[in-house]
Amino acid sequence: MIIENVSSNKVFDGWHKQYTHQSAVLNCNMRFAIYLPPQATNNQKVPVLYWLSGLTCTDENFMQKAGAQRIAAELGVAIVAPDTSPRGEDVADDEGYDLGKGAGFYVNATEAPWSRHYQMYDYIVKELPELIESTFPVNEQRSIAGHSMGGHGALTIAMLNPDRYQSMSAFSPISNPMNCPWGQKAFTAYLGKDKAFWRIHDASELMRQAKRFVPAKVDQGESDDFLTEQLKPEMLEAAAKASGYPLEINLHQGYDHSYYFISSFIEAHLRFHATHLNK
């Protein structure tokens, strides 16, 4: 697969780089960012944390705002940040910010017109890791994390693929998308009206039924404007208690939904993942 480097910046003795490539899964040109810590050399391969961003974001939001590179350099962990949806003039879109471009929800769409391009689940789980692992000095040790819509994606993808990920974490995840406006709008469009097909993409439903566990960490701000209507962390916490899932969930007074919140606690998440990636 041909990839093109579009930017390179040295950061804490490692490198932040952006690439574009033609995605066979998404049928469009895609961009991703990767941070390679100084330990990543031809003689040493490092583990990877995949970061999934939220609604309206691209690969740039996390890499520019979270302040993760310093700790990633110390820990010797690469970070890969994909875009949040397919892109291009012929890619289906919606007037709302919560559907279409910038709002892929990390599922494989089955409904027209979305199904032609919106196969984000396969892109994150299969195509992108294959590209990363065949191109860069990384090993097959993977963890996954995300924010909001990306938190939903990180939790559901890890629970659906417990053999592929050493750990999972989320900031302010959409915990119960079947029962919130964001999730209901997106799932109806991408997956159809039959809610039976929604359950495998609902973190609370998956966690309640889980038999195999991936270590999990969730942080949520108590002053988040979306807390009650959209995020519903109490549903995830109840599901974890029902199944005995090893979920660490922390509520933080005064914090909102922004990258100010993420940057305040990203170090703890990276250290959490490094512990499991290095086992």
Which residues have a catalytic role annotated?
148, 224, 257
> Between β-strands 78-82 and 46-52, what pairing exists: parallel, antiparallel or unpaired?
parallel
Torsion, CA 117, CA 122, CA 128, CA 129, rounded to 10:
180
For residue 198 the two structure tokens come to: 């929604």
168-171 sheet: strands from edge to edge: 3-11, 14-23, 28-36, 78-82, 46-52, 138-147, 168-171, 216-221, 247-252
Name 100's Cβ contacts closer than 8 Å, sequence gap at least 6. Answer: 85, 91, 92, 93, 94
Scanning the structure block, which residue is given the tokens 């305040």?
A: 264
Give just the sign of the alpha carbon dihedral 40, 45, 120, 231: negative
Residue pair 106/125 in contact by the 8 Å Cβ criterion: no
CA distance 164 to 235: 25
- Rg, C-alpha atoms of the chain: 17
3-state class of 262 per DSSP?
helix
CA distance 23 to 1: 9
For residue 244 the two structure tokens come to: 């005995």
Number of helices (H), then strands (E), in the chain: 9, 9
